[in-house]
Amino acid sequence: MTILSKISIAAIMGAAVLVGGCATGPTQEQTGAVIGGALGGVIGSQVGAGRGRTAAIIAGTLAGAAVGGSVGRTMDEVDRMNVSRALETSPDNRPVAWRNPNTGHSFQATPTRTYQASGQDCREYTVIGNIDGSRETITGVACRDAQGRWINQ
């Protein structure tokens, strides 16, 4: 079994535990942590060989879970739709701002670089959020999938 298969199975099992253990389902933070951890592990599996690769997978999984948890904690579906709108309609370096009516949090998404990778349109972006009086900055890269949706990389 490849390391990628093991990571995928671990991510699916983690998600099943989160969903199965809660009558109300996983929180956004839990979902973000599982997805972020899985993606971080996959990215880490592409680095190095032998023990170096194992360390990269562990580091990538932990970092991905932390970042995914942070994003899941602060942004809901309204916010993700607004980030997608900014990626879709805003030129590079032109911010799109909004205030989430459900949470009261305000955000500003700015696409910073547009490019092609493996035949896909991709955009680097920065999101600045004001959450309960505290400023948080999130950076990322999103690429279009086959259905035209922006998917975080």
- The more confidently predicted of residues 93 and 69 is 93
- The more confidently predicted of residues 77 and 95 is 95
Question: From CA 42, how far away is CA 63, in angstroms rounded?
Answer: 12
In the chain, the N- to C-terminal Cα span, in Å, equals: 24
Please count the helices (runs of H) and the strands (runs of E) in the chain. Answer: 4, 5
Furthest-apart CA atoms within the chain: distance in Å: 49
Residues in Cβ contact with 12 at an 8 Å cutoff, skipping those fewer than 6 apart: none
Q: List, for residues 44-65, the tens digit of each pLDDT value.
A: 455 555 555 565 555 555 555 5
Percentage with pLDDT > 90 across the chain: 27
Which among 46, 43, 34 has a CA at the least distance from the CA of 9?
Answer: 34
Give residue limits of the domains in the chain. Answer: 3-74, 77-152
Question: From CA 53, how far away is CA 75, in angstroms rounded?
Answer: 32
44 close to 36: Cβ distance less than 8 angstroms: no
Q: Report residue 133's pLDDT band, with 50, 70 and 90 as the boundaries.
A: confident
3-state helix, strand, coil split of the chain in percent (to 5) is 50, 25, 25
